[in-house]
Amino acid sequence: MAGNQRIVLAAKPQGLPRDSDFALVDGPLPQLGAGEVLVQCLWLSVDPYMRGLIDAVYPYVKPILVGDVMSGGAAGRVLESNDSSFKLGDLVEGYLGWQLYSAVPAAELRKIDLAHGPLSTALGVLGMPGLTAYFGVTEIGEPKAGQTVVVSAAAGAVGSAAGQIARIRGCRVIGIAGGAEKARHVVDDLGFDACIDYKAETDLAAALRRHCPDRINVYFDNVGGTTHDAVMTWPALDARIVICGSISQYNNPAAEQGPRRLKEFEMWRVRQQGFRAPDYRGRYKEFLADMATWVADGRMRYRETVAQGLAAAPAAFIGMLQGRNIGKQLVKLAEETGP
């Protein structure tokens, strides 16, 4: 605990980020201010939205500029606290950044109870990706029992949870994922009714017609692009399109072009709605009550892909943007039992 190590943005990526866009730098331990908590980061989360932060696309979130520490969720252990609600050894989650140690205001931390699951799940199925899936499905998608739900990036952290939530709600759930292994995982391990391997399909719209004979009631969109286009050729009446993310386009500097499909909106009374996971952070308890129950009783399964050590974070991030991970992509920094 002599000093801190952090990963900073060294250059603004053009398209897909490269290793050289990031740098591992040494620095002093953070100084603890009033009301702040010093946390040793044990697990880092890498998530698609971070690519957007680098491009400053979110009008309501501080962007990541060249020279900044990469921001992102992390889970760790309290080393020192200037706030009475946290004490040495507490396990916490928050936006701690890609670094070994982080000092943050106590109000930005969430205490983690291992009774719900291992610490890593606070960044995955029981964390922001799970929360995103939960409210995206229940509040934006609103699927009804017996309806057909399609989920893209179905083997990813958000998609895998979204599809299982729809299954728990009594829906028929069709995943879309890239590659045979992911498609197998989505059906065999996660229990989706079917999964389309888009890399093996020449005509995704036709595949959707085969798998969804009664059309698509809800589409949970994690990828945008031509996948969204294909779904929009086959909506059911009153279809709901949940715009959660557009990972297929995050590295595309041009405005993506595609068919507008406004006639389909009118004819099929389609509702398409975007949402922002941070807006639901105040409702963690509500989400956790359901989700932890489902994890415990086996109805909600999850997988993690784990990279080792802070230096591996950029490659883990770049790999995730290319769809190399299955389930939640994490970076493990240290054992939970302590240094």
**Interacting residues with its own copies (CB under 8 A):** 52, 57-60, 221, 224-225, 228-229, 243-246, 249, 255-276, 279
Looking at the Cβ atoms of 123 and 270, the one nearer to its own copies is 270
Give the whole-angstrom CA distance, residue 326 versus residue 329.
Answer: 7
Q: Provide the minimum distance between the beta carbon of 6 and its own copies in the complex, in angstroms, as a whole number.
A: 27
Closest to its own copies by CB, 82 vs 226, is: 226
Amino acid at 153: A
Rounded to whole angstroms, the Cα distance separating 339 from 324 reads: 30
- Residue 306: what are its φ and ψ, rounded to 5°? -120, 125
Nearer to its own copies, 121 or 132 (CB): 132
The two three-digit tokens of residue 205, written as one number: 């719209």
We find the least distance from the C-beta atom of residue 231 to its own copies, in angstroms, to be: 12
Query: Distance between CA atoms of 171 and 270, rounded to whole angstroms?
Result: 19
132, containing H or E segment: helix 128-135
Nearer Cβ to its own copies (263/285): 263
Closest residue by Cα to residue 276 from 58, 53, 108, 62: 58
CA distance 155 to 133: 13
Q: Among residues 36 and 221, whose Cβ is nearest to its own copies?
A: 221
Considering the complex, what minimum distance in angstroms separates the CB of residue 75 from its own copies?
25
Look up residue 264 and give its two tokens: 């389909």
- What gap in Å lies between CA 72 and CA 184, rounded to an integer? 30
- Tell me whether residue 179 or residue 225 sits nearer to its own copies (CB atom): 225
Residue in the structure block whose two tokens are 């958000």 = 158
Question: Which CB, 160 or 222, lies closer to its own copies?
Answer: 222
Smallest gap from Cβ 268 to its own copies, in A, equals 7
Tokens of residue 32, six digits: 């603890």
CB of 208 to its own copies, least distance (A): 16
Q: Which amino acid is at 57?
A: V
Residue 12's nearest CA partner among 54, 56, 63, 57 is 54
Q: Which is nearer to its own copies, 67 or 274 (CB)?
A: 274
Cβ at position 4, least distance to its own copies in Å: 32
DSSP state of 59: T
58, amino acid identity: Y
CB environment 183-193: b (16+ within 10 A), e (fewer): bebbbeebbbb
Q: What phi-psi label fits residue 326: left (phi over 0), alpha (psi between -120 and 50 degrees) or beta?
A: beta
In the complex, the smallest distance separating the C-beta of residue 94 from its own copies, rounded to whole angstroms, is 22
Output phi, psi for 163, to 5 deg: -65, -40
CB of 299 to its own copies, least distance (A): 28
Cβ at position 55, least distance to its own copies in Å = 9
Measured from the CB atom, is 219 or 294 closer to its own copies? 219
